[in-house]
């Protein structure tokens, strides 16, 4: 017997849905497979159940915490034509794989036009495959450059008003014996960093992401790929990432940044709420908050705009759902700007719809809300390919640990490994 743990929020949402729709068993029930959060998606399910006025009710079903495990479970069930999957919270890198396999229902043109109105470009790009919108943009995420004002000032930098480069923050940290907050762990966080560096240098990890596996061309063994490797080498070999760089994820980067040797950090907006909570809990000083500034992601080449990381969640509609039209209707409700604003404030996940950023509660909770919106417009998705798992794992295998990365070999090594894997000549 499989035992399932249901959160209080999820149970509350389900009960609210049942109450709103009465006891009429003929009301269609939509199952929304959600990634773990702080109960926000369950609350949105309840809100949209109530708004449906008996047309449908939404139940939530929790996916595993790790994105790779979510992908595995969904792919397996959709391959078996599971009709219980109506709405899916999807990590953007896995959307092309599911779309290419025919596992996602088509988004009608009028709906596609509606759900992309006032939506940041990064989220639209992440929900698109073969020039068609295949998922509904829900929440979007991006990394900012967080910095200690005191360190930036000592280095003569003004990131708030003038873009800074990776070289400038490397020099600033090194001259003041500080650490840079980056993610060097052998995990998806490393792929995120590599992709942002390569795209900010004007390149792409994959040059033809829609090609068949054996025809995919990589763009790593290029000037852009070598520039990315050079930055990682400079940080790692000079000890600027801190002693735990090879195991450093987003949370570890934040904790290091909050310490006495913190200087600059690239990270997601969750760090702001987490730092405020630390002050409220008495674990951090208010002086730390007063010393924190934020700016756009660093440039690789001075004068060339950076391409910050893009993350988030989009809503896919299961191709085998018994109620695809209702599922699309429910997805449209979920992503309404007021719902996105609620979700951003209560769960800390930035909205994909720009209207949500004008909400007073969003502006109060996120003083950097306008910058997040600006960053999302410039953000670059990770490689959009059905073979993303092979590409990402190949990068992690060849660009880790960070102190082994070198522009002379790492781009070529990754290109060779990933190409051979995609051609079936080698296993990861």
Contact 332/182 with Cβ under 8 angstroms? Answer: no
Question: How far is the C-alpha of 215 from the C-alpha of 208, rounded, in Å?
Answer: 8
Same domain, residue pair 193 and 214 = yes
Question: How far is the C-alpha of 129 from the C-alpha of 15, rounded, in Å?
Answer: 36
Same domain, residue pair 154 and 245 = yes
Structural domain that includes position 352: 29-141+311-381
Considering the domain boundaries, does residue 231 fall inside one?
yes
Q: Quick check: 149 pLDDT over 50?
A: yes
**What's the token pair of residue 77?**
């069930």
What is the biggest distance separating any 2 CA atoms in the chain, rounded to whole angstroms?
69
Q: Quick check: 10 pLDDT over 60?
A: no
CATH of residue 172's domain is 3.40.190.10
H or E segment and range at residue 63: none
Considering the domain boundaries, does residue 22 fall inside one?
no
Considering the domain boundaries, does residue 318 fall inside one?
yes
Total number of domains in the chain: 2
Same domain, residue pair 186 and 206 = yes
Q: How distant, in Å, are the alpha carbons of 178, 223, 231, 270 from that of 375?
A: 26, 24, 21, 15
**What's the token pair of residue 119?**
């939506």
Contact 33/85 with Cβ under 8 angstroms? Answer: yes
Same domain, residue pair 176 and 273 = yes
pLDDT, residue 63, reads 97
More confident residue, 107 or 17: 107
- The string of pLDDT tens digits covering residues 65-83 is 988 899 999 999 999 999 9
Same domain, residue pair 115 and 159 = no
Question: How far is the C-alpha of 285 from the C-alpha of 148, rounded, in Å?
Answer: 14
Considering the domain boundaries, does residue 174 fall inside one?
yes
DSSP secondary structure letters along 90-101? E-GGGHHHHHHT
Same domain, residue pair 219 and 348 = no
Same domain, residue pair 178 and 202 = yes
User: Please, what sign has the CA dihedral across residues 67, 68, 73, 76?
Assistant: positive
Same domain, residue pair 225 and 120 = no
List all residues 6 or more positions away from 393 whose beta carbon is below 8 Å from its beta carbon. 428
Same domain, residue pair 319 and 278 = no
**What's the token pair of residue 186?**
């052998």
Considering the domain boundaries, does residue 226 fall inside one?
yes
Considering the domain boundaries, does residue 335 fall inside one?
yes
DSSP secondary structure letters along 192-205? HHHHHHHHHTT--S
Question: How far is the C-alpha of 353 from the C-alpha of 362, rounded, in Å?
Answer: 12
Find the mean pLDDT for residues 74-97: 97
Same domain, residue pair 360 and 316 = yes
Contact 203/224 with Cβ under 8 angstroms? Answer: yes
- The string of pLDDT tens digits covering residues 187-235 is 999 999 999 999 999 999 999 999 999 999 999 999 999 999 999 999 9
pLDDT, residue 50, reads 98
Considering the domain boundaries, does residue 5 fall inside one?
no
Contact 41/74 with Cβ under 8 angstroms? Answer: no
Question: How far is the C-alpha of 18 from the C-alpha of 57, rounded, in Å?
Answer: 7
Question: What's the whole-number average pLDDT of the chain?
Answer: 94
Question: How far is the C-alpha of 279 from the C-alpha of 290, rounded, in Å?
Answer: 11
**What's the token pair of residue 63?**
């996916």
- Smallest CA-to-CA distance from 126 within 39, 8, 209 is with 209
Considering the domain boundaries, does residue 23 fall inside one?
no
Same domain, residue pair 287 and 391 = yes
Same domain, residue pair 155 and 51 = no
């Amino acid at each position: 017997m499989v035992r399932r743990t249901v959160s209080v929020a999820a149970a509350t949402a389900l009960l609210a849905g049942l109450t709103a729709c009465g006891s009429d068993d003929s009301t269609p029930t939509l199952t929304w497979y959600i990634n773990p959060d702080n109960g926000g998606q369950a609350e949105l399910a309840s809100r949209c159940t109530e708004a449906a006025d008996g047309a449908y009710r939404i139940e939530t079903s929790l996916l595993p915490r790790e994105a790779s495990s979510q992908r595995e479970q969904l792919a397996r069930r959709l391959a078996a034509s599971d009709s219980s999957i109506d709405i899916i919270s999807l990590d953007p890198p896995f959307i092309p794989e599911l779309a290419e396999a025919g596992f996602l229902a088509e988004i009608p043109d009028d709906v596609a036009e509606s759900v992309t109105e006032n939506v940041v470009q990064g989220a639209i790009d992440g929900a698109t495959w073969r020039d068609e919108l295949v998922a509904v943009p829900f929440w979007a995420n991006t990394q900012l450059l967080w910095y200690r004002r005191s360190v930036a000032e000592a280095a003569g930098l003004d990131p708030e008003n003038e873009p800074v480069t990776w070289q400038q923050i490397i020099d600033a940290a090194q001259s003041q014996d500080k650490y840079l907050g980056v993610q060097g762990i052998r995990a998806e966080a490393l792929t995120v960093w590599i992709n942002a560096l390569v795209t900010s240098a004007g390149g792409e990890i994959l040059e033809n992401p829609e090609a068949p596996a054996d025809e995919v061309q990589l763009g790593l063994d290029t000037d852009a790929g070598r520039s990315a490797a050079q930055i990682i080498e400079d940080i790692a070999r000079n000890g600027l990432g801190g002693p735990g760089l090879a195991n450093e994820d987003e949370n570890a980067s934040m904790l290091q940044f909050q310490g006495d040797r913190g200087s600059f950090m690239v990270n997601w907006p969750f760090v702001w709420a987490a730092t405020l909570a630390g002050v409220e809990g008495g674990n951090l000083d208010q002086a730390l908050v007063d010393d924190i500034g934020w700016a756009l992601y660093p440039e690789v080449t001075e004068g060339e705009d950076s391409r910050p990381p893009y993350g988030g969640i989009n809503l896919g509609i299961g191709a085998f759902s018994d109620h695809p039209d209702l599922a699309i209707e429910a997805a449209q409700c979920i992503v309404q700007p007021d719902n996105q604003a609620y979700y951003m404030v209560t769960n800390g996940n930035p909205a994909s719809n720009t209207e949500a950023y004008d909400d007073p509660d969003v502006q109060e909770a996120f003083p950097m809300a306008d910058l997040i919106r600006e960053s999302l417009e410039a953000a670059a998705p990770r490689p959009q390919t059905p073979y993303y798992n092979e590409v990402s794992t190949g990068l992690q295998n060849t660009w880790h640990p960070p102190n082994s990365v070198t522009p002379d070999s790492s781009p070529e090594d990754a290109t060779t490994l990933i190409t051979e894997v995609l051609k079936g000549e080698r296993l990861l």
